[in-house]
Structure 1
């Protein structure tokens, strides 16, 4: 799949990087008990780690809050999705299992402190571009609300935006019926290319081990 980063992102975020994974012929199902258990234990561990700490002190959260500030969004009003996950855990509002794809997505988002989106590839139309949202752009998010996309990083196809490190659209979600998927890892800008490839490859291998199919990945970054 052809994916392009906009020139505006190059200029405002020169160290911006994405891990892009494309999956074919996967099988999404209920998570194995091992995955459910690991996700629960990981959240409990995070909760105790945060007892005397603010979520915004975490290095990954700090980097993504800085990105939001640079593109013109107040991170106190528009929180990166990974920060929202950590704040839920801090309140002991633990995530429960959705299905195997979402559970793995959330586990790695917690582990690496980065937003990660996963989308049904068959619901994406045409080539994908990643850019800043414009005035008036919006979509209904997975949070059930209409979300303004102005000045947020968005992933778009020929029908418009469908994803963001803030909240994803309800137009392209991965479900039990999904056979092909696109995963976007919003890497920390401080991550070098070698470690970006290791992280992305690790997620891809874990995902295909559980879901079968074939996969390939690339690191998308500013030249």
Structure 2
């Protein structure tokens, strides 16, 4: 699989990527379910008296991430699906920027102007053994902050799913090959 980063997403100088292999996706442990609910409720209370258009989330409009934030603002809690989808949503809420998890790593993955319109999680279920996860880092984060967040996410994902993983930072017009 090739991951191709185009220059269509200039608002993101760096996109973090974690490539997971030999993982086991299943039911979310209680700790993950509790954290996910906590982050949704915290976000709801932070946004309770503010129009979403007056927040930093507008930089991600339109996107499926922005749509998710709108739902949480309306107290429409995101339901638990599986450990892969749940941890991915937790990262997006915790970091306050889009995070995508894709379990179909057979086809080339192109990061272009339509990337933010993709679902936050694609083709991840109990049969998933390999995946890529993309972190759309805001430009105000330093390279070191990006690396720290990738590493923290990688370690937490490993605690729940096992397997192996590698991290990368993609810059404009970069192509990366990952082996499924």
Deviation at 1:15? Answer: 4.9
Cα distance in 1 for residues equivalent to 2:110 and 2:12: 18
> C-alpha distance in 2, partners of 1:34/1:169?
21
Q: Which residue of 2 aligns with 1:113?
A: 96
Paired residue for 1:130?
A: 111
Distance 2:29 2:21 in 1: 21
Q: What are structure 1's unaligned runs of at least 5 residues?
A: 66-78, 132-152, 155-163
Which one has the largest radius of gyration? 1
| Counterpart for residue 34 of structure 1 | 31
Give the one of 79, 82, 99 matched to 1:99: 82
TM-score, with normalisation over the residues of structure 2? 0.86
Partner of 2:59: 63
Q: Is the 8 A contact 2:103 2:131 kept in 1?
A: yes
Indicate which of 41, 62, 72 corresponds to 1:89. Answer: 72
Higher normalized contact order (CA 8 Å, seq sep 6+, divided by chain length): 2
- Residue 48 and residue 169 in structure 1: after superposition, are their counterparts in 2 closer, same or farther (change >3 A)? closer
Q: Which moved more, 1:212-221 or 1:182-191?
A: 182-191
For the residue of structure 1 that corresponds to 2:116, the secondary structure is coil
TM (norm. structure 1) is 0.70
Q: Give yes or no for contact 1:14–1:222 (8 Å, CA) kept in 2.
A: no
- Offset, 1:85: 1.3
Deviation at 1:64, TM superposition (A): 2.4
Aligned counterparts of 2:82 and 2:53: Cα–Cα separation in 1: 29
Instruction: Give me the whole-angstrom Cα distance separating, in 2, the residues matched to 1:129 and 1:103.
Output: 24
Equivalenced residues, count = 173
Number of the residue aligned with 2:153: 203
